[in-house]
Structure 1
Amino acid sequence: MLAPFLFFGMFMSTDGQLAAMTIDLGTQFLKIGIVKPGIPMDIALNTESRRKTPNVVMIQDGHRTFADAAIGMQVRYPHLVHGNLNDLIAKSFQHPSFELFKNRNPFYEIDDSPRNASSVNFKLGGESYSVEALTAMVLANAKKFTEEYAQVSEIKDVVITVPVYFTPVERLALERAAQMAGFNVLQLINDGTAAALSHGIFRRKDITEKPQRLMVYDMGAAKTTATIVEFKLVKEKYEKQPKMTVLGVGYDRTLGGIEMTNRLRDHLIEMFEKTYKPKTKVNTNRRAFAKFAKEAERLKQVLSANAEHFAQIESAHEDIDAKLKMTREEFNRLIEDMTPRFGEPIEQALRMAQIPIEDIDQFVLMGAGTRVPKVQEVVQKTIGTKEIGKFLNTDEAVAMGSLFQAAHLSKGFKVKPFNVEEKLIFPVEVHFVSKVKDEKTEEIVGEKNVVKTLFAANSVYPTNPKTISLTSYSDDFAIALKYGAVESLTKKQLQEVGNLLDNLIDVEISGLSDALKNRSSEESEFKGVKVSFLIDASGIVRVRRAEAMFEAKSGIVGSITSTLTGLFSSKTEEGEPTTDEATATGSNEEKIEEREAPKAEETTPQPEPSATPSTEESPKANGTDETTTSGNTTDVKPKKKELPPIVRLRIINKYPSAYVPNRYDVDEEKRRMVAFAEKERLADERAAAENELESFSFECSQYLEESEFTDFTTEEEKSKLEESVKRIRLWLEDDVTKETPTKEFTDNLLELKNVVRTVKKRQEHDKTIPEKMKSLDTLLETTLSLTTLGNNVDEEKALFKKEDRDGLKTKLDKLKVWVEGVRKHLDTKKKFDDFNFTGKDIDSKIRSLNREVDRFMKKMKKITTLDELNKDGKINIDDIVAEAEKKASSEENTETKDKTKEPETGAESEMKTEL
């Protein structure tokens, strides 16, 4: 698995298709990274222009609210604002995580009779929503505001961070939730790995053949993890490349800032009830309970920097304003029993890595929980003399590290390699029943349970595909994937995983009996079934394929050869895992698929897809049969159709101990979210129309009090506007309901705007038309002076011919009559009268006049000297004539440049000099 370092855009498509994003999916907050052409690497800002977004969703009356807007409603509607859901993914009501969640959030309404009883569901507005569906909504909202921030139409590719202790089924359930949100999940990456990757990427040049070890200690809102990684250069095909290997991890999935806040909240409630003695308990009022929780979170942050502080809650309970003093010493006593747990993840990570603390080169703290002084004190004591580093942007390191990985995995960027190997915590075994046959009669005489280890604990992933061969089955069968003994986890950690450890996947394989029916024992020999597995870069166990293997028989000699080969070849025990040879060199699954010719496979008849929840089917493989025909006219016996040696079997995966949304669930939630989005779009349009009408009606009220507006209004218009404003404002206050359609708002707004638009138009004309008329008058007078040039000069010496001057004079006189009519109208009209012309009419006259002047100037005669026109003293050559001559000369020069240059005569040279 590679991680990126240096970006080179390969911009073969649009920005939206090349863009990729990452989601640091924290319990309380999200941080979103974005990479696209033009934005190489950045943290996306949400709609409130913040770099982190609360991980909450509120559903009320069919409308969803997210992020800060939902947090603002949490005190009023604590039972409707849902957050802290990460640890409920893929869980059931019987799981320990649900019991802990219920104790921390007593006011949520649980739906204990959902369509799938293995999932945790909440009742909101009469509807039932699974944890995965609510998570998908949060992810979809992040997708939406990131697309707006990046200014692209759609972003599909995403890398999402997960806690290191997430089991394969939890990861798969989260991947399905992301698919509900419209994402293509490139990878699920452990948050500690992403943070360490961010550190390694920026210090790539410092990595050498000597191992360098880093420990990342992360205490978030709900969990605490410690991750030990090792950086070093390793030999690749052609050169040495940096490699990051996860050596060990430790965690406590219930230790975090939420637990500290809840203890402080309960203590504040206890102090309040003792001090103010309310009639009822605070925990009976969910709104008061939420107020104390909000203040406890604020107080915890303040006490991290101050020795004491006051908790102040206005109208905390029963209209009592609370003011309670709290010291850091008291807070430390509240979390005293938690302090031994602060260092346990560090010790567990060291045990798994099998190294002492002295071998750790660098140590860094992350997460809001590590800002608590007591946490820092215990951690420092655990690591001894090691210095706590300050070299990492702990707030955004996880998002940035996963963002590098997103750039590497997306199609739009080429990056420098950075190998990463993850540590596998949960070993995976395959369980199946082997049928025992009698050696002489080949009849089945018994069965035995077989257990084989596929992926061992503390191995690394992503893995090469592992294949098992099953030779005793002749009918459809089932196998089971289960977790092996997890020796690196404590008893408490195993209890927290709960029933997820019971069974991983029940794999049902069908189509074998049909494949055998289509074969005769004389034509081919059944060699068994091969089932292939792998753990991908996301830590998810995948059942790649199941195939029935056949070998064609080739007569007596072929049978003898086959028998001898079997005698001298090494036999593999049934179910013994082997690494696929085709993939051992690092080829991925897609390349293997391509190398297998379609004609070499056969598809058994497929039944209709099952709608059973928590069930998934493998992709169906379509094979093709080839027939050969003779090209000669002689009758030849047709060749018998050759059956392919590989038959793809059908796989159905079932998850008995967890809720994993299947394809039906994903499609159903997609449809529901599309319906939500459309309903919210219409609601937003209605709200915008109502707000605009309310604002404009108030604006109209102000207009009616301003003389600058009323002077341009007729009595009828003024009366109509006053009545409309009064009626609309009363309607808005008394009659508008949630069911009021958008059209009523837009119709009333149009009524007001029609009146105001007419008056505003008069105001604008009153300001602009006099200025335009002044410009027209100036141009007209200037142009009239041109028509008088040459009146007292011989016609031969005049610049313009008489007929040209007379023609222009006629047009100017006509324009002058129009101008006088306009002036008369302007002098007699009142402010509230409409203009019988517009500013566009005046602009049109000015353009027409300019065109006439241009045509007139082009008709000017060529002259030798200006003195000939000036010698009798009767004609004064003013600035206007000079400009006209300059323009005519410029046009002649332009025409000359476009033609081939010819030698100038002496007369031409003399005339240019004089001009």
Structure 2
Amino acid sequence: MAPTRIAGRYAHGNDKVFPIVCWILHCLLIKKHESSPLGVLKETTMWRDSILWMLFCCFPLLPSPTDSIAVMSVDLGSEWMKIAIVKPGVPMEIVLNKESRRKTPVAVCLKENERLFGDGALGVSVKNPKVVYRYLQDLIGKQKENPLVALYQNRFPEHHLEKDEDRGTIIFKNSEEMQYSPEEILGMVLNYSQGLAQDFAEQPVKDAVITVPAFFNQAERRAVLQAAQMAGLKVLQLINDNTAVALNYGVFRRKDINSTAQNVMFYDMGSGSTVATIVTYQTVKTKDSGTQPQLQIRGVGFDRTLGGFEMELRLRDHLAKLFNEQKKTKKDVRENARAMAKLLKEAQRLKTVLSANAEHTAQVEGLLDDIDFKAKVKRTELETLCSDLFDRVQGPVQEALGSAEMSMDEIEQVILVGGATRVPKVQEVLLKASGKEELGKNINADEAAAMGAVYQAAALSKAFKVKPFLVRDASMFPIQVEFTRETEEEEGVKSLKHNKRVLFQRMAPYPQRKVITFNRYTDDFIFNVNYGDLAFLSAQDLSVFGSLNLTTVKLTGVGSSFKKHVDAESKGIKAHFNMDESGVLMLDRVESVFETEVEEKEEESTLTKLGNTISSLFGGGSSEPSVNASEPVQDEEEVPPETGKEDDQAQKDKPAEEEKQEAGENAKEETLGEEKAEAEKADANSDAQDPKEAEKSEEKKPSEEEGKAEEKEDKKAKPQKRTKISDEIGVELQVNDILNPSSDQIESSKKKLQDLTDRDLAKHEREKALNSLEAFIFETQDKLYQDEFQAVVSEEEKEQISGKLSEASEWMDEEGYTAGTKELKEKLSELKKLCKAMFFRVEERRKWPDRLAALDSMLNHSAFFLKSAKLIPEDDQVFTEVELKTLEKVINETTTWKNETVAEQEKRSSTERPVLLSKDIESKLALLDREVNYLLNKAKFAKPKPKPKPTSAEKNGTSTEKGKANGTVADSEKVIPPKEEPSPEKAPEAPEEVQPGEEPPTVEDAGKETETEKSERPEGASSTEPSENNKSENHLGDEL
């Protein structure tokens, strides 16, 4: 628990002050203009300017392109982890590791100068199990005396576990220099998962949602958060793995969810534990987004030690027994850690095979003293070995039904999750316990949790917008507040009374905020936050649960606060608690609240309010609450202490439409009041009284008659305004379960992990430099005898290069494998410099054919273009003489350069530096291309020149020629008397009708313009018939 809010959630809040201030200032400018005579006329302009101002002010708030957008999830199991990401263009994808597998072992190998993860670490575990750390989930957030720590030591006797004297937790001690806490090793795993996600997403990834078992208590959840902090991850949420599975199941079945509640049980048997969860799906109405689907965790049952790993350990011990019975050696295989690690690996493989086969042969080469082991194992033997484990399979089911207060008849289906559910006997027992016809296998048992968690990560991230799916998770363990106060039972006789107030009941939804009010304290006091009634846990679960006391809270400054506000009416000491999205309880703040009566003031104008807002923004900016803050009194909902099943039943009987999302973002503050009434002293069993009634009991000091009289007077008098005054109370926290590491310890662990990461990177760089040098030596020695290299290298140069390569090869065999990265890179650079001229000549010869062919093709096309451009008639020419001459000059110069350079290159020896260079050819190509493209673009957008307007004589001549062309021979010989030429203003004559026996005008004739039409056509307009110039222009276009 921490006395303040999570820092990361409200980071960079001050960056938003400047845009808000700018916006308010601009609103003031608008107000000023509206008051002027021109205000109405400028209204539209001012609104436009306002929008521009808003966009300008909000521009600094936009994320930069370098910010991380992708988010990730880590399904952190005891044996395996699955990683998923969401990034723009990649919706919900499982990350592949370096071996291209979809899941990665949670294993870390820590040698003196080497660190391995995943499959690489598992490979080392067979040879040297002492340096490989696995199954860390059983040690996170545990003290050294916890029975689970003893069980871990029994399973892995090769590890040396010591007690951390500062915190009471454990430390892996491999040597004096190599000591790591489970949180630090888990931080390495999370850092490795972040690296895999970043490689897969090809961008930085910092935000993550991590899955944890539903039975993790406060200490275990804080330990996971601390490990993520050491790894440099920003945890958006710790989500219970069963909740993540349920979310993944519901997201892909949105259409099947309606207002009718559907109850589904998810049975998750993993490697280390088993959890059964009852989830209710239905649609609910929300204020913000209307009707949306929702999942609610109704019941949870678990078994911390029931899982596939326990089956593998028993099978391993059975194989060891079989090997000892063969008596191939006098040694006991169980005393050899390396041999037992080999048998454990074989037992894991054997369990998987026996899930699909009735029997199988187990075999290990060189198990002990180079003796091979081989034995046949049947499935029935495995079932006999684990018979007591199979009897415990139905335990979580019954526990989940009990916590949800349901029967199996209300469960629609049971869905299997987790790798261990593939064991046939597990399914057989579970099918019988559930009474169903079949078990649901319609989700990916391995990846469902990772996919559900990454959907939640996308929903929490501001970079993505997903369809809402409401999640109401539940806290498994009740939490209560305990305090002691003095009570006066008889006159002069005082006694101490221990009080308990339940903050969160069992299966209470979260995230949720609650407030508890202490009404009878006027001086500094202490209260404790502890777990509530855990009678539902078995004796074994209680023994591994850890401390039942969470935190001791000491409040300071209560007395001084009361002295400052003697005239005010006390409303008690309010402690604000918050159980966040990760299920971690925090104490946000504690404050003393008072009420006082003040005279009502005249309401301020809008302009004054804006001015006050600006003053407050510039005057402060601190996020800390004020010491003596005052605000108008608002009615606060007082909720009496929860009393058990009646409240639970009432909660269940609510219609779906009336649920108000107590565990959602509403952050509804429920208040638990400490009662004041002295009339309840004698009731020792029940110390609960409605806080409102308690306050009324002290306020109603006068008699009933006086109260009635005052009541009448109050009705006549004007009501006075009451103001609330709050003082911040000092808080000192003492953690009682597992001490949180100090900030210095966190920084030290961060530095330790960063040093290991830097060492890994340096080692990777050295290996890369060593491999590059070795590869260059071998490849170059081989190339010296290839034909294309022999053609360009002289014998003298060949001997020199070959000698240097042989010398470098001998150096590598003797000193190279111990040389540093810098020395290896310098050696490689020296050899590359020696061979640079040879590689250059070979590379140029490889490029010549393609480059020269491209240049020839470009020259041909450019010459054809130039020839076509010169054929354009002068009236339609779009290119200037300077442009055509420039192109012609470039073509001639390029052709000359190419011929001369190729001829000179043919005279040179192949071992000399070439004069024909590929880069020169490319520059000539670029020059030609630029010139031709310039002219092409000019022709594309050029406009045709306007035609000159014909004279009247030209018109008559054209008309006469047309008449001759259209008339018959007889008509052409007929003499027509001269007529007066019509003026242009007169209307044209009607067309002559076609006489019988005469041919009608052809289509070509109909398409031609009459003289009048020509005269009326605007200057520069073209006729329907294309002119010769137009035809040549179109021809040029076709040629181009």
Output the TM-score relative to the length of structure 2: 0.68
Segment of structure 1 superposing worse, 762-771 or 39-48: 762-771
Structure 1, residues 143-176: CA drift from partner, whole Å, max 9, x if none? 22212222332332x2222212111221122122
Amino acid at match of 1:896: K
- Aligned AA (1:909): S
Change (3 A) 1:836 1:287: same
| 1:521-560 pair list within 5 angstroms | 528-550=572-594
- What's the offset of the Cα at 1:71? 2.1
Does the alignment pair 1:74 with 2:125? Answer: yes
The amino acid across from 1:230 in the alignment is T
In 1, Cα distance between the equivalents of 2:282 and 2:475? 20
| 8 Å CA contact retained: 1:173, 1:661 | no
Residue 305 of structure 2, aligned match among 254, 272, 279: 254
Residues 117-153 of structure 1: CA deviation (Å, up to 9, x unaligned): 3344444682321111111221122122212222332
1:59–1:124: 8 Å Cα contact kept in structure 2? no
Answer yes or no: is 1:896 the counterpart of 2:937: no
1:798-851 C-alpha deviation (Å, 9 max, x unpaired): xx99xx999989996997599457525523x33322224523345556777889
Give secondary structure in 2 for the equivalent of 1:542: strand
Whole-Å separation in 2 of the counterparts to 1:264 and 1:525: 71
- Output the CA distance in 1 between the equivalents of 2:577 and 2:885: 97
Cα pair 1:16 1:155 within 8 Å, conserved: no
Let me know the Cα RMSD of the aligned residues. Answer: 4.4
**Out of 86, 94, 101, which is 1:50 matched to?**
101
Larger Rg: 2
Cα pair distance change 1:482/1:710, threshold 3 Å: same
Distance 1:529 1:734 in 2: 77
Aligned counterpart, 1:34: 85
Given the superposition, is the C-alpha separation of residues 511 and 60 from structure 1 closer, same or farther in structure 2, using an over 3 Å criterion?
Answer: farther
Q: Which residue in 1 is equivalent to 2:252?
A: 202
1:505 is matched with: 551
- 1:125 and 1:732 map into 2 onto residues whose CA distance is 34
Is the counterpart of residue 101 in structure 1 residue 152 in structure 2? yes
Among 208, 212, 217, the alignment partner of 1:167 is 217
Query: Distance in 2 between the 1:435 and 1:109 partners?
Result: 50
Quote the residue 1:602 is aligned against: none
Secondary structure in structure 2 of the residue aligned to 1:668: helix
Judge which range, 317-326 or 729-738, deviates more: 729-738
**Residues 276/713 of structure 1: CA separation in 2 closer, same or farther (3 Å cut):** farther
Do structure 1's residue 487 and structure 2's residue 567 form an aligned pair? no
Contact kept, 8 Å, 1:91 with 1:120, in 2: the verdict is no
**Structure 1 residues 334, 646: CA separation in 2 closer, same or farther (over 3 Å shift)?**
same
Moved more, 245-254 or 813-822: 813-822
**Equivalent in the alignment of 2:845:** 766
Classify 1:723/1:106 alpha carbon distance in 2 versus 1 (closer, same or farther; 3 Å).
same
Distance in 1 (alpha carbons) for counterparts of 2:118 and 2:91: 26
**Structure 1: how far apart are the matches of 2:82 and 2:887?**
76
Please give the alpha-carbon distance, in whole angstroms, between the structure 1 residues aligned to 2:398 and 2:660: 35
C-alpha contact 1:119 1:659 (8 A) present in aligned 2: no
Tell me, in whole angstroms, the C-alpha distance in 2 between the residues paired with 1:165 and 1:306. Answer: 34
The match for 2:361 is: 310
- Map 1:227-626 → 2, pairs under 5 A: 227-237=277-287, 240-436=291-487, 447-469=496-518, 471-475=520-524, 477-497=525-545, 499-501=546-548, 503-512=549-558, 515=561, 519-520=563-564, 528-550=572-594
Q: How far apart are the structure 1 equivalents of 2:858 and 2:583?
A: 81
Q: In structure 2, what is the Cα distance between the partners aligned to 1:192 and 1:758?
A: 65
> What does 1:114-129 align with in structure 2 at a 5 Å threshold?
115-123=166-174, 126-129=177-180
Preserved CA contact (<8 Å) 2:419 2:445:
no
> Secondary structure of 1:94's partner?
coil
Residue 7 (structure 1) aligns with: none
Q: 1:816 to 1:235 in 2, by over 3 A?
A: closer
2:415, 2:440 within 8 Å by CA — same for their partners in 1?
A: yes
Displacement of 1:298: 0.5
CA distance in structure 1 between the partners assigned to 2:475 and 2:515 by the alignment = 15
Give, in angstroms, the shift of residue 206 of structure 1. 2.3
Deviations 1:378-437 (A, max 9, x none): 112212344212222222222222233223322234444433333433211212232457
The residue that corresponds to 1:749 in the other structure is 828
- Letter in structure 1 aligned against 2:734: K
SS of match in other structure, 2:547: helix
Separation in 1, partners of 2:580, 2:95: 28
Aligned match of 2:784 in 690, 699, 704? 704
1:300 Cα deviation (Å)? 0.8
> For structure 1, which segment, 656-665 or 744-753, has the greater mean C-alpha deviation from structure 2 after superposition?
656-665
Q: CA deviation at 1:906?
A: 13
SS in 2 for 1:504: strand
Contact 1:57 1:134 in 2 (8 A): yes
Deviation at 1:588, TM superposition (A): 8.0
Aligned to 2:682: none
Q: CA deviation at 1:267?
A: 1.2
Query: Hey, what's the Cα distance between the residues in 2 that align with 1:658 and 1:806?
Result: 85
Indicate the residue corresponding to 1:226 in structure 2. Answer: 276
Distance 1:645 1:259, change over 3 A: same
* Matched residue count: 789
Is contact 2:86–2:93 with CA below 8 Å preserved after alignment?
Answer: yes
Query: TM-score, with normalisation over the residues of structure 1?
Result: 0.76
Amino acid at match of 1:459: A
Report the 3-state secondary structure (helix = DSSP H, G, I; strand = E; otherwise coil) of the residue aligned with 2:125: coil
Whether 1:176 aligns to 2:294 is no
- In structure 1, what is the Cα distance between the partners aligned to 2:67 and 2:886? 66
How far residue 249 of structure 1 moved from its aligned partner, in angstroms, is 1.6
The one-letter amino acid of 2:759's match is: K
* Counterpart Cα distance in 2 of 1:658 and 1:671: 23
2:804 to 710, 724, 733: 724
Which residue in the other structure is 1:672 paired with? 752
- Cα gap change, 1:514 to 1:522, in 2 (>3 Å): closer
Q: What are the Cα deviations for residues 5-31 of structure 1, in whole angstroms up to 9, with x where unaligned? A: xxxxx9977595443322211111111
**Is the Cα contact below 8 Å between 1:164 and 1:192 reproduced in 2?**
yes
Q: Is the 8 A contact 1:471 1:527 kept in 2?
A: no
Match for 1:49: what amino acid? S
SS in 2 for 1:278: coil
1:854-884 Cα deviation digits (max 9, x unpaired): 99xx9xxxxxxxxxxxxxxxxxxxxxxxxxx
SS in 2 for 1:221: coil
Q: Which amino acid aligns with 2:255?
A: K
Tell me which residue corresponds to 1:736. 816
Alpha-carbon distance in 2 for matches of 1:806, 1:573: 92
Q: Percent identity?
A: 35
- Out of 710, 713, 725, the position equivalent to 1:645 is 725
Q: Contact 1:21/1:406 (CA < 8 Å) preserved in 2?
A: yes
- List runs of 5+ in structure 1 lacking aligned partners: 1-9, 556-568, 594-642, 790-799, 859-886
Kindly state the Cα deviation for residue 91 of structure 1 after the two structures are TM-superposed: 0.5
Aligned equivalents of 1:672, 1:704: Cα separation in 2: 48
CA displacement, residues 718-777 of structure 1 (integer Å, 9 cap, x when unaligned): 223222222222222222355x32111111111222233311211233344477668878
2:872 aligned with 1:823: no
Q: Provide the rounded CA distance (Å) in 1 between the counterparts of 2:840 and 2:764.
A: 31
- Corresponding residue SS for 2:126: coil
Mapped contact 1:93–1:120 kept (Cα < 8 A):
no
Which residue of 1 is the match for residue 240 of structure 2?
A: 190
Mapped contact 2:471–2:664 kept (Cα < 8 A) = no
Q: Kindly state the Cα deviation for residue 253 of structure 1 after the two structures are TM-superposed.
A: 0.4
Provide the C-alpha distance between the structure 2 equivalents of 1:127 and 1:843, rounded to a whole number of angstroms: 60
Question: Which runs of 5 or more structure 2 residues have no equivalent in the other structure?
Answer: 1-60, 600-634, 648-658, 670-722, 869-879, 948-1018, 1036-1040
- CA change 1:909–1:672 in 2 (3 A) is same
* Aligned 1:777-796 pairs, distance under 5 A: none
- CA drift of 1:671 comes to 3.0
Partner SS state of residue 310, structure 1: strand
8 Å CA contact 1:214, 1:230 repeated in 2:
yes
Q: Judge conservation of contact 1:435–1:473 (CA < 8 Å) in 2.
A: no
Contact 2:308 2:420 in 1 (8 A): yes
Indicate if the aligned counterparts of 1:469 and 1:575 stay in contact, CA closer than 8 A: no
Deviations 1:637-683 (A, max 9, x none): xxxxxx99322223343332324344444333333333333332222
Which position in structure 2 is the counterpart of 1:875? Answer: none
